[in-house]
Amino acid sequence: MDLGIRDKRVLITGASQGIGHACALAFAAEACRVTIIARRNDTLQAVVEEMGGTAAGHEYLATDLMGRNAGTEAAVNLLRSGDPFDIVVHNVGGTLELKDPLAPAEMWNRVWHYNVGIAIDMNAELVPPMIERQWGRVIHISSISAESMRGSAPYGAAKAYLNAYVKGLGRAVAPSGVVVSAVMPGAIWSEGGHWDRARKERPGIEADFLRHHHAIGRLGTAEEIAPTVLFMASKHVTFAPAAIVPLDGGTM
C-alpha cells in the first residue's frame, strides 16, 4: 500500500527506545525525513545511523523535554532550522514511578506534564503551519490505562486527559485537513522498559497479569504498534480526525 508519505518531514519525541524507536525506523523505511528527540546524545546518534544517517535527511535533538518551556523551545528551534513538519508523533510519557493516588497535586501535575503538557506546548507551535498548508498528521501515544485505570492512577488520569485533548484538538482542526489522533497500546515489552524490568525484579508477575488482562496471552512489542502509527500518518486517514485507536492485545 502506498501511504503517500514519501519525503515527508517527521518529528518523533521519546524516540531512543521502545515505540518511538520502532516508529523512527518505520518512517525511515518509508523514505521520510525523520527528526528524533530524546535526552541521550549517544543513543540518538545511534538511532540516526540505524535509520540511514544524516545523508538520508535524518537528524536528532538531544534535550530534556521536562524542562521549563523545553517543549516550546524545541519546537520553535526545529521549525527555524528547516521545513515545517508534516507528521508529528508524541511518544514522551510514563508513570515517573508515581503510583500513590494520595500523592500531592504537584506530583500529579508532573505526570500530567510528562504525558500531556509537553505535547500541548509543542502542538501550539507545530500545528499552525500544518493548518496553513492544509495537511498534517499528529499522532499521540496514549495508553489503554486511560480506560482501564490499572496501575498508576496519576498516569491513567493523564492518559485519559490526553484522549480528551486529542478529541478536542482533532475536531477543531479537522476542516483544515490536519488529522490529530491517538493510539492506545496495552502492555508492551521493550528492552529497558517497564516489563523488561518487571521480568527481572518480580518473577511471575507477567504471567499473572496476562492471565487476567491480555486475551492474546502475551505482551505486545513496539514493532506491532509502529505500523498503525504509520497508517494514522498516511494519506488514507482523511475520515479519521480525533480517532482513538486501541492496540491492546484484547485487554480484559
Q: What is the 3-state secondary structure (H, E, C) of 70-111?
A: HHHHHHHHHHHHCCCCCEEEECCCCCCCCCCCCCCHHHHHHH
134 in Cβ contact with 177 (< 8 Å): yes
How far apart, in whole angstroms, are the C-alpha atoms of residue 186 and residue 184? 7
Q: Is the pTM of this model over 0.85?
A: yes
How far apart, in whole angstroms, are the C-alpha atoms of residue 81 and residue 69? 18
How far apart, in whole angstroms, are the C-alpha atoms of residue 7 and residue 218? 36
Tell me the CATH number for domain 9-191+221-237: 3.40.50.720
Name the 3-class secondary structure at 37: strand
The residue-averaged pLDDT of 140-145 equals 95
182 in Cβ contact with 233 (< 8 Å): no
| Residue environment code for 13-31, b if the CB has 16+ CB neighbours within 10 A, otherwise e | bbbbbbbbbbbbbbbbebe
Q: How confident is the model at residue 7 (pLDDT cuts 50, 70, 90)?
A: very high
Domain boundaries, the chain: 9-191+221-237
Residue 214 has pLDDT above 90, yes or no: no
Q: What is the pLDDT of residues 65-93, one digit of tens each?
A: 999 899 999 999 999 988 999 999 999 99
Q: What is the pLDDT of residues 152-207, one digit of tens each?
A: 999 999 999 999 999 999 999 999 999 999 999 988 877 766 666 767 767 776 76
Nearest to 159 by CA among 119, 124, 122, 106: 119
pLDDT in the model for residue 107: 97
157 in Cβ contact with 99 (< 8 Å): no
Residue 249 has pLDDT above 90, yes or no: no
Plot region of 7 (φ>0 → left; ψ -120 to 50 → alpha; else → beta): left
C-alpha cell at 213: 488482562
